[in-house]
Amino acid sequence: MSNFSSGDAVLKVEGLVTSFRTDDGTVTALDGVGFDIGRGKTLGIVGESGCGKSVTSLSIMGLLPSGVGRIDAGKILFEGKNLATLPEEEMRDIRGNKIAMIFQEPMTALNPVFTAGEQIIEVFMTHRNMDRSAAYKAALSMMEMVKIPDPERRLEEYPHQMSGGMKQRVMIAMALACKPAVIIADEPTTALDVTIQSQILRLMQDLQKDTGTSIMFITHDLGVIAEMADDVVVMYAGQVIERADVVTLFDHPLHPYTKGLLASIPHVGQHRDKKLSTIRGSVPSLMNLPAGCRFYGRCPYRQPECEQTRPALESHKGAHEVACLFAGRIDAGEIKPNYEALGGE
Amino acid sequence: MSDVILEVKNLSVRFPIRSGILQRQTGAVQAVSDVSLQVRRGETLGVVGESGCGKTTLGRAIVRLYEPSEGTVVFRGEDITHKTHKELSATRKHMQMIFQDPYASLNPRKNVGAILEEPLLLNTNMNREERLARVFELMDLVGLRRDAMNRYPHEFSGGQRQRIGIARAIALNPDLIVADEAVSALDVSIQAQVINLLVELQKKLGMAYVFVAHDLAVVQYISDRVAVMYLGRVVELGSSKDVYADPLHPYTKALLAAVPAAHPKDRKKVQPLTGDVPSPANPPSGCHFHPRCRFATDKCKTEAPALRRLGHVDVACHHAEKIKSGEVQA
């Protein structure tokens, strides 16, 4: 099921280091991030606030704020090119055309002064060199493809006249307009109600089946990962700490952070007589990271070595990779969690 | 029924829609429509629903942050619906609120000690020493380190700020706390910490919660009973166990079916609910849910179903019996 090791990767990220200049000095937001996205597959990237999942997508798209954020090292390989060093003119041909993006806030991603139709038509005219009437027809068929009811009328509407779900459909229509090889979806359903979220997830799955597009799906929601992903990358404080195919990750998480994350979500069917597992403490500041494992301060399995030695992402079994010095021994039950050592919650 | 701490009877809240240069009222949004429910001492009532369902308005009308248009709110046996602002201050000692964004609800110019001391200063006769002891006690209760007392809200993470908000809410030992999306903005690992804290504090201090949230799993986890709202109306009300195990209202069913799977092997196969949530300014006739309901008949288009008892739960659906017995199916 996993395709991390296969050669059929449409996008490959290697050792990506991205930093931001701030008033308080340089912050390394991504520190050696790597993964592949398989052709026609969905890669889920999951992590909490500040883990670097959105910076990863901005780095790939070449959308880091200029003069503030920059890629210091690493490669982003796509169709034989390294996007990390590609000049802006060439990047413009790829962005929105071969790699498209869907954002969390369709209201801010869509231009409020143009109708939905004008915005989709523009995509076709810019990237496909279509004339206006051909672009209109193409836009109409995109609207039908994303199942927007009454598409002729909707093309004439402005973003503020549409509901959140409808705007996200328009965003998806725009993203799909150029038949991209990869769609990067950054929390595309986080702002939506649960019944609308399930419509949009279903739509993305159906469209992927029809078009064969690969999807990089960024979310904080493990439920959405369970619904959508083929493979999963778990990020923590700017690093990839575990990657596996989705079933393996849920059945057999290895990293103490992944274990904690999975255990801390309440599920429908669970009641409060059973206390929720938590991860003690909070994510370390990127300004002040520990020398060794970045999860050290919160890890119930930690050993003295973890404080100074930084674990590399290594294969555990086949394509299942984990960045934990003691993953094998924890998995074998040789190291037990010690919550007392961490102090209060 | 002396154990009822809060009784809401036929509560409606309308907001005027004003337009034109004269800002004349041209319509009204019926945010909450004829809602009746009770909260018992020490229990948690979850209020769940999607955007625009009125859950936040209901919570705020209970603590009188919004004025009810109709109906009554009885708290601790006292009708507080028409109390003046001044009269309410005595009531508010016993009823507190926790907000989604603790940062917006904490004074950025005051340190934690001052934030927690304020309600004691205004509402009790404690001397300085007693107040300090109480501030420390509150910080211990919510798991904040005592040495954080002199720090300001911006120095804390979201989860810690929510702990400050909770400490302030429990400062005067209230009987009821209305929590509005209190854990929604938090990362999952932190969310679990705050949920555990709320459960633990309730066990220790015995206050009741009205827990308003959109996350169905969180609401089920924390609640004894659940009210499901749709476009201003309560469509189903019952014990959390009954409502989640065997939802009767087609909307509750659809809502639960839309929750993402807990495991990739349980991926949802059901067809998602179609259509958008209609605008509360212009809700559909009859049963508000009928345009999206697969069981809807002509009766549903014209006649609003009342909330009525069926088995262990209250449900507002004309066809609930048939749905329950499996007589009608999608």
What proportion of chain A, given as a percentage, has pLDDT over 90? Answer: 66
Q: Which one, of B176, B223, B167, B209, lies nearest residue A266 by Cα?
A: B223
Interface test with A, best of B187, B256, B277 (most A CBs within 10 A): B187
- Torsion sign over Cα A344, A285, A302, A43: positive
Between CA A117 and CA A33 the distance in angstroms is: 38
**pLDDT by residue (tens digit) across A105-138?**
777 788 989 999 999 999 899 888 899 999 999 9
Q: A160 in contact with B at a CB cutoff of 8 Å?
A: no
**Which residue of chain B has the CA closest to A246?**
B264
B233-239 vs B225-230, strand pairing mode: antiparallel
**Residues of chain B contacting A260 with CB distance shorter than 8 Å:** 189
Please name the residues in contact with B289: beta carbons below 8 A apart, sequence gap of 6 or more. B230, B231, B235, B249, B250, B251, B296, B300
> What pLDDT score was predicted for residue A345?
43
Res. A26: pLDDT tops 50:
yes
**pLDDT by residue (tens digit) across B216-240?**
999 999 999 999 999 999 999 999 9
What proportion of chain A, given as a percentage, has pLDDT over 70? Answer: 97
Chain B closest CA to A84's CA: distance in Å? 30
Chain B closest CA to A270's CA: distance in Å? 6
> What pLDDT score was predicted for residue B28?
85
Lowest mean pLDDT among A280-284, B38-42, B132-136, B145-149: A280-284
The two tokens of residue B240 are: 């959390």
- Torsion sign over Cα A147, A148, A149, A151: negative
**pLDDT by residue (tens digit) across A141-171?**
999 888 888 899 999 999 988 888 888 889 9
> What pLDDT score was predicted for residue A259?
95
Do B273 and A199 make contact, defined as CB atoms within 8 angstroms? Answer: yes
3-state secondary structure chain B: CCCEEEEEEEEEEEEEEEECCCCEEEEEEEEEEEEEEEEECCCEEEEECCCCCCHHHHHHHHCCCCCCCEEEEEECCEECCCCCHHHHHHHHCCEEEECCCHHHHCCCCCCHHHHHHHHHHHHCCCCHHHHHHHHHHHHHHCCCCHHHHHCCHHHCCHHHHHHHHHHHHHCCCCCEEEEECCCCCCCHHHHHHHHHHHHHHHHHHCCEEEEEECCHHHHHHHCCEEEEEECCEEEEEEEHHHHHHCCCCHHHHHHHHHCCCCCHHHCCCCCCCCCCCCCCCCCCCCCCCHHHCCCCCHHHHHCCCCCEEECCEEECCCCHHHHHHCCCCC
Q: Which one, of A45, A37, A31, A30, lies nearest residue A4 by Cα?
A: A37
**pLDDT by residue (tens digit) across A30-87?**
999 999 999 999 999 999 888 999 999 999 999 999 889 999 999 999 999 999 999 9
**Which residue of chain A has the CA closest to B292?**
A195
Do B220 and A270 make contact, defined as CB atoms within 8 angstroms? Answer: yes
Res. A3: pLDDT tops 50:
no
Do B265 and A268 make contact, defined as CB atoms within 8 angstroms? Answer: no
A 10 A CB-CB count for B319 gives 21
Angle, helix B158-170 to helix B128-141, in steps of 10 degrees:
130
Do B190 and A282 make contact, defined as CB atoms within 8 angstroms? Answer: yes
Task: State ipTM.
Answer: 0.86
Lowest mean pLDDT among A100-114, B59-73, B249-263: A100-114
Please name the residues in contact with B105: beta carbons below 8 A apart, sequence gap of 6 or more. B99, B165
Q: Which amino acid is at B70?
A: E
How high is the mean pLDDT of chain B? 92
Nearest to A227 among B189, B268, B276 (CB): B268
**pLDDT by residue (tens digit) across B151-162?**
999 988 888 999
The two tokens of residue B50 are: 């999607």
Q: A267 in contact with B at a CB cutoff of 8 Å?
A: yes
Q: Cβ distance B35 to B233 under 8 Å?
A: yes
Chain B closest CA to A100's CA: distance in Å? 25
> What pLDDT score was predicted for residue A6?
46
Chain B closest CA to A81's CA: distance in Å? 34
Residues of chain A with CATH 3.40.50.300: 1-98+181-290
Between CA A307 and CA B91 the distance in angstroms is: 52
Chain A closest CA to B265's CA: distance in Å? 7
Confidence of residue A5 (pLDDT cuts 50, 70, 90): very low
**Residues of chain A contacting B260 with CB distance shorter than 8 Å:** 197-198, 201, 221, 223-224, 226-227
Domain A1-98+181-290: assigned CATH number: 3.40.50.300
Between CA A285 and CA B207 the distance in angstroms is: 36
Between CA A141 and CA A81 the distance in angstroms is: 32
Res. A1: pLDDT tops 60:
no
**pLDDT by residue (tens digit) across A180-216?**
999 999 999 988 889 889 999 999 999 999 999 999 9
